[in-house]
């Protein structure tokens, strides 16, 4: 995580049994410069892309726009 320099968004399922959102948030907090968005999803486990694909795709599209705006303003 320390070497991550690209603006990043993380989508994390709240019902992930072994890696709950607290672990995801701790991971994101290791590099707040790069990880700009940490989004949890209710009623979703370890694989949001399989459990709620339409929601995940929508979030990815939204986050790509937001992260692109951040990248442009930094440059």
pLDDT at site 27: 96
Q: Are 42 and 14 in contact (CB under 8 A)?
A: yes
How confident is the model at residue 74, as a pLDDT? 56
| Separation between Cα atoms, residue 45 and residue 20, nearest integer Å | 9
Identify the pLDDT of residue 60: 97
Which of left, alpha, beta for 5 (phi over 0: left; psi -120 to 50: alpha)?
Answer: alpha
pLDDT digits (tens, 9 = 90+) for 10-57: 999 999 988 999 999 999 999 999 999 999 999 999 999 999 999 999
The pLDDT value given to residue 17: 87
User: What's the pLDDT score for residue 73?
Assistant: 59
Q: Give pLDDT, residue 69.
A: 82
């Amino acid at each position: 995580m320390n070497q991550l320099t690209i603006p990043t968004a993380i989508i994390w399922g709240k019902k992930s049994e072994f890696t709950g959102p607290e672990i995801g948030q701790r991971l994101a907090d290791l590099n707040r410069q790069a990880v700009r968005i940490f989004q949890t999803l209710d009623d979703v486990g370890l694989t949001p892309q399989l459990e709620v694909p339409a929601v995940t795709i929508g979030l990815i599209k939204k986050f790509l726009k937001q992260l692109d705006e951040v990248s442009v303003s930094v440059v």
